[in-house]
Amino acid sequence: MKRVAVIFFLSLLLIQVGGCYIYFVGRLAAIRTEMREQLKHLPEEQLTRFQFTPEEFLKARVEDHEIKVDGKMYDIARVTEQADQILVLALHDEAEDNLLAFLSEMVSRSANDKKPVPVEVEQLLTLSFLPESFITLQNSVSEIIHTTPYQEFGTMVFFTCELPPPRS
């Protein structure tokens, strides 16, 4: 029963931590799908025109259908080559820019947090979660055998039990 409860709470914690990432990935996929559908029906007048050298185009290309220019994400509608220039017609993807900015802000906030960890949380993280029945103490046994003329055979056994240090 305890094992089921522990597995349940750990899975809840994992879902909570991973939920933000799952939302981010799902939302990013939805935004990209929407933009590809929108690009199919847009006329050239509504697209932004870029002209790159082949090297610049490789540097600007993020994925097969996206480029990043001046820190902004653009979805590629059409690519044509003219002599040693590559002409790209693209649409600025504001939704993806906003999502990536939101994610980077969340990461930078947690990285720049100067507040120390509360004492209660630190104590919780340093607790020993094993019950005493699982803790094995290393006992040492010493056996002393005395034989004297007065007592032919005598055996004494001493047990020493090593205990953990006291808690403060």
pLDDT digits (tens, 9 = 90+) for 92-112: 878 777 777 777 777 777 667
Residue-level pLDDT at 128: 59
Residue-level pLDDT at 140: 54
| Domain-embedded: residue 167 | no
For residue 135, pLDDT over 60 is answered with no
Q: Are 48 and 74 in contact (CB under 8 A)?
A: yes
Structural domain count, the chain: 2
For residue 142, pLDDT over 60 is answered with no
Question: Domain check: are 138 and 97 in the same one?
Answer: no
Domain residues for 157?
132-161
pTM above 0.85, yes or no: no
Q: Work out the average pLDDT over 60-75.
A: 83
Helix boundaries (H) for 41-167: 54-60, 94-111, 119-125
Classify 34 as helix, strand or coil.
helix
Question: Domain check: are 47 and 12 in the same one?
Answer: yes
| Averaged pLDDT score across all residues of the chain | 75
For residue 13, pLDDT over 60 is answered with yes
DSSP letter (8 states) at residue 70: T
Q: 122 or 10: which carries more pLDDT confidence?
A: 10
Alpha-carbon distance of 58 to 60, in angstroms, equals 6
Q: Work out the average pLDDT over 64-70.
A: 84
Question: Domain check: are 136 and 110 in the same one?
Answer: no
Alpha-carbon distance of 112 to 114, in angstroms, equals 6
**Length in residues, the chain:** 168
Question: Domain check: are 137 and 86 in the same one?
Answer: no
Six token digits for residue 45:
């007048």
List, in sequence order, every beta strand (DSSP E) within 102-153.
139-146
Residue-level pLDDT at 129: 57
